[in-house]
Amino acid sequence: MSEWLEVNDLKTYYPVKKGLFGRTSETIKAVDGVSFAVRKGETFGLVGESGCGKSTTGRSILRLAEPTGGTVLFEGQDIMKLGKEELRRQRRHMQMVFQDPLSSLNPRHTVGKLLEEPLIVHGLGNSSERKRSVREMLEIVGLPAGFASRYPHQFSGGQRQRIGIARALIVRPKLIVADEPVSALDVSIQSQVINLMQDLQRDFGLTYLFISHDLGVVRHISDRVGVMYLGRLVEVADKQDLFSRPLHPYTQALLSAIPNANPDAKRERIVLGGDLPSAAQAPSGCAFHTRCPYAMELCSKVMPRMVERERGHVVACHLDQTGNEAIRC
């Protein structure tokens, strides 16, 4: 598998007005120097607490949010350098699925029309071919073709998500960025939608960037996982390595909070002190130092770099595995 989507030092900052009458402003560093690579055909899970910048990372890769810096190479092409028209063409290959994909669409349009729209935008097929594609696509996502004449409000959450997936898939993309695609669904429906996504990945050769705050879901679907904290990646590893041997204290704390599927593996719950700091006032050095049980003097002064500790297992922390101060950068 080649590294096929490469994100290098991605930054997405937003100015926000504050103070009386918005006279002063501050900068939210929603994504602050994120680098990782996604391999063709895999599912890369991006996890972290809400507000850690994982959605903005996904949106920035597709330039639905405009990055402030960094590069995104997709099949060797720098997405950041594309003009408006080239970007529009490129979007055919890079689609997004949202938590409730139909909520932002016109509720007075039938599902058929909503599914046909992307085909029109990308100039795919004539009218009868498009109608046929819509019916086929509904069946592919497990819905009757006749649903094309219905309206979004007539569907359950799970059905709406199937339609959202169909709308992304109908232009035959290569990459799907799925942002919390099952978070609003009941657990039993979640697993149906995830199974569907896995079947579609196999049948259509899709690559997923799967964004979720839910570690259980990420563990189920991902091949590799990246953990984000306050706009930065703190750990990336194969799923097995991350869940069996998390190296970053933040990952360790996140994992300790999920009910353990294996009762033999004794893992004490690590309770983090303090609240998640604001991305406008990220702590200096390692941004996690205000909550980290192992924080040392160095941590508030020097930002740890991402270092490969084991094959394919990258972590940004000054500690080594024995708990000693490891890396001065």
Q: SS in 3 state form for the chain?
A: CCEEEEEEEEEEEEEEEECHHHCEEEEEEEEEEEEEEEECCCEEEEECCCCCCHHHHHHHHCCCCCCCEEEEEECCEEHHHCCHHHHHHHCCCEEEECCCCCCCCCCCCCHHHHHHHHHHHCCCCCHHHHHHHHHHHHHHCCCCHHHHHCCHHHCCHHHHHHHHHHHHHCCCCCEEEEECCCCCCCHHHHHHHHHHHHHHHHHHCCEEEEEECCHHHHHHHCCEEEEEECCEEEEEEEHHHHHHCCCCHHHHHHHHCCCCCCCCCCCCCCCCCCCCCCHHHCCCCCCCCCCCCCCCHHHHCCCCCCEEEECCEEECCCECCCCCECCCC
Binding mask 93-132 for ligand SF4 (x = CB under 6 A): ----------------------------------------
- Asked if 294 touches ligand SF4 (CB under 6 A), the answer is yes
Residue 314 interacts, among Mg ion, ligand SF4, none and using kind-specific CB cut-offs from 5 to 8 Å, with none
Q: Please count the residues of this chain forming the interface with Mg ion, following the rule CB under 5 A.
A: 1
Report the nearest approach of ligand SF4 to the CB of residue 315 (Å): 9
Residue 55 interacts, among Mg ion, ligand SF4, none and using kind-specific CB cut-offs from 5 to 8 Å, with Mg ion
CB neighbour list of residue 147: distance below 8 Å, 6 or more residues apart? 111, 138, 155, 159, 163
Report the nearest approach of ligand SF4 to the CB of residue 288 (Å): 5
Q: Are 317 and 248 in contact (CB under 8 A)?
A: yes
Report the nearest approach of ligand SF4 to the CB of residue 246 (Å): 11
Q: Please count the residues of this chain forming the interface with ligand SF4, following the rule CB under 6 A.
A: 14
Residue 299 interacts, among Mg ion, ligand SF4, none and using kind-specific CB cut-offs from 5 to 8 Å, with ligand SF4
Q: Are 319 and 302 in contact (CB under 8 A)?
A: no
Report the nearest approach of Mg ion to the CB of residue 58 (Å): 8
Residue of minimal Cβ distance to Mg ion: 55
Report the nearest approach of ligand SF4 to the CB of residue 87 (Å): 37
Residue 292 interacts, among ligand SF4, Mg ion, none and using kind-specific CB cut-offs from 5 to 8 Å, with ligand SF4
- Asked if 79 touches ligand SF4 (CB under 6 A), the answer is no
Cα distance between residue 100 and residue 102, in whole Å: 6
- Asked if 230 touches ligand SF4 (CB under 6 A), the answer is no
| Comparison of 12 and 55: residue with beta carbon closer to Mg ion | 55
Contact pick of 176, 299, 306, 314 for ligand SF4 (by CB under 6 A): 299
Contact pick of 254, 295, 306, 314 for ligand SF4 (by CB under 6 A): 295
Could you tell me which stretch among 135-143, 165-173, 261-269, 285-293 binds ligand SF4 (CB under 6 A)? 285-293
Q: Which of residues 28-87 bind Mg ion (CB under 5 A)?
A: 55
Report the nearest approach of ligand SF4 to the CB of residue 320 (Å): 10
Q: Which residues bind ligand SF4 (CB under 6 A)?
A: 248-249, 286, 288-289, 292, 294-296, 299, 304, 317-319
Q: Which residues bind Mg ion (CB under 5 A)?
A: 55
